Chains A and B, each alone.
Chain A
Amino acid sequence: MFYARDIYGQTLVELGKKNPDIVVLDADLSGSTRTKLFAKEFPNRFFNFGVAEQNMAATAAGLASCGKIVFISTFAMFATGRAWDQVRNTVCYNNFNIKIVASHAGISVGPDGASHQAVEDIAIMRAIPNITIVVPCDGPETKEAVIAAANTPGPFYIRLGRAKVPTLENKKTFKLGKGYVLEDGNDASIIACGMMVKYAQEAAELLKKEGISARVINIHTIKPLDNQIIIQAAKETKGIVVCEEHAVVGGLASALDDIVLENHPVKVLRVGIKNRFGQSGEIEELFKEYNLTTKDIVKTVKEVLR
């Protein structure tokens, strides 16, 4: 079990030791996002902007124009929502080397409630050209994603949660833009990102006991999407269930639908947040309330095969 943000902070320190061009910015949440680990190690390469996310994002562009690799962090809500125009016009239009690594995405934020639970962030980032979007499923994958972002020119959005997450088994080597099969199967496909990958794995286990063979795919890179693995799943299985801790509008499911429709139409059903805001509660309660549990995935797979 790891906090992805712990791994993020530690990885930043490792990267900072190797590359003097790495600069980190935060907006008064360096304790929560763990950029404070970098701040402690490299005080001259860390800037806290206070509660001013728009300024942080546009300042990152000025730094990047001078050759810096700039990581900016705050909660997903504010990094993508509050600073959207800055991210669109000043980060992405300039195609700068800026890595937005946001924590506290999704309803797994828990008790803080709807104002802090970003469930539209992938949708609003995905609409912008030039940006790469990664949603890691666990601690080790977070590390790989952050390293890949540092080594790949251009803007990135890496989406992390607040909660401690288990480390997954059977993972393949992380390759940007490439999904991979975690469990093979040929009745239905379950395609998931982030925290939902673990539940997808559990759902496949339960389905197996009922004689249903489900393929589980971890699709950590939402943009650019791995079309090939999706088309293959559409061709080789009878239907697809997409699982994301995000609104069903504009996220992974929407992106996947486009590919399936254009290439090999099959039935696609969604496990995600359906046109609702989040609310306060413990993670398990919330996942139940918003139908994001293992049981919900099992049910939806049966539906897709009906």
Chain B
Amino acid sequence: MFECKKYSAEQIKKLESTAREVRRLIIKMLAKAESGHPGGSLSAADIMTCLYFEVLRHDPKKPQWPDRDRFHLSKGHCCPVWYAVLAKNGYFPIEKLWTLRQLGSMLQGHPDRRTPGVDVASGSLGQGLSVALGMALAGKMDKKDYRVYCLLGDGEIQEGNIWEAAMAASHFKCDNLCAILDYNRYQIDGRVDDIMNLEPIQAKWQAFGWYTIEIDGHNIAQILSAFEEAKTIKEKPSIIIAHTIKGKGVSFMENVVDFHGRPPTKEEETRALEELKD
């Protein structure tokens, strides 16, 4: 059993508070834009907070630093959570968040390279794991020690391209690649189990040659520990299967499929922000 002793209770508490702030930004951003995807952004908020405030080796002042760890958001529609952590890190001013989805904005409806911190666009599902694989292969080729992280959606992995990439990443022994599955169990049309069942999910990834770690995707200590554990795995890629709740943090959005792609109204925004108060 892997044991992670790196983080203090205080550090974890601080990250929990940051994650709440990230959620508040997501709600405000989407209410202002009057369109976008809150459910999967909120379910990934704790994972993304851990990545951008603790795990990633990066420098917001030098987004193109060649030795940076790479992050790629394969489930591109959940970019509000990415934009929130990028802005909070200083990649661009927080005020830019209020331009989400507007004509000419650097914050497009799905990730685009015009946003500082975004290396590759995404949005058409199922292609991101391949993109991350390419980054991992480049790192190996250049003998660099950066790591590559890729966040996948659960509905998304119904795409065949994901499994082509899964096969290749283990074939090429990409131990510098770590995928995270945001397993919130909902997709636009309903419950993943009903639309197109993914189970047994862990066995699938193991059969494709991946090291798997299952966690509660809202438990900061477990998330941090999983990333540390993945770093110790050699000769194969890792995937963190994070069990999450769609819409996590806002009671009336949790497990409500309608909030996959519907923004909060003004009134809902007020209620959500009240619940997310620090």
Contacts and interface: CB of A to CB of B under 8 A. Distances in A.
A73 to B, nearest CB: 16
Contacts of A44: 141
A86 B121 CA distance: 11
B119 A58 contact: no
Contact of A58 (B136, B161, B167, B172): B161
B69 to A, nearest CB: 12
Interface string A32-64: 000000000000110101101011011111111
Interface string B117-133: 00111111001101111
Interface string A75-103: 00000000001101110011100000000
A295 to B, nearest CB: 46
Contacts of B130: 54-55, 57-59, 61-62, 86, 90
B81 interface: no
A64 B134 contact: yes
A63 B141 CA distance: 10
A41 B171 CA distance: 21
Given A23-B141, A63-B134, 14 more contacts: A52-B168, A54-B161, A55-B164, A55-B168, A59-B134, A59-B165, A62-B72, A62-B120, A62-B132, A63-B137, A85-B127, A89-B124, A90-B122, A90-B124
Contacts of B203: none
A55 B138 CA distance: 15
Contact of A66 (B123, B142, B161): B142
A86 B172 contact: no
Contacts, number: 97
Interface in B101-123: 113, 119-123
B148 to A, nearest CB: 8
Contacts of A63: 134-135, 137-138
* CB-based closest 3 A-B pairs: A62-B134, A58-B130, A66-B138
B139 interface: yes
A296 B120 CA distance: 47
B108 to A, nearest CB: 11
B160 interface: yes
B168 A94 contact: no
B142 A59 contact: no
Interface string B84-96: 0000000000000
B37 to A, nearest CB: 18
Interface of A: 23, 44-45, 47, 49-50, 52, 54-55, 57-68, 85-86, 88-90, 93-95
B141 A90 contact: no
Given A55-B130, A62-B120, A90-B121, A49 B168 contact: yes
A181 to B, nearest CB: 40
Nearest to B162: A55
A52 B167 contact: yes
B161 A94 contact: no
B127 A86 contact: yes
A66 B130 CA distance: 14
A288 to B, nearest CB: 40
B164 A62 contact: no
A59 B168 CA distance: 10
B137 A58 contact: no
A54 B160 contact: yes
Contacts of B136: 62
Contact of B134 (A45, A54, A60, A89): A60
A98 to B, nearest CB: 10
A86 B122 CA distance: 10
Contacts of B119: 65
A88 B133 CA distance: 19
B123 to A, nearest CB: 7
22 contacts: A47-B137, A49-B164, A52-B168, A55-B165, A58-B128, A58-B165, A59-B137, A59-B168, A60-B134, A62-B132, A62-B133, A62-B135, A62-B137, A63-B137, A65-B119, A65-B135, A65-B138, A67-B66, A67-B138, A89-B124, A90-B120, A90-B122
Contacts of B168: 49-50, 52, 55, 59
A92 to B, nearest CB: 10
A144 B164 CA distance: 34
Contacts of B172: 47
A96 to B, nearest CB: 8
A142 B135 CA distance: 30
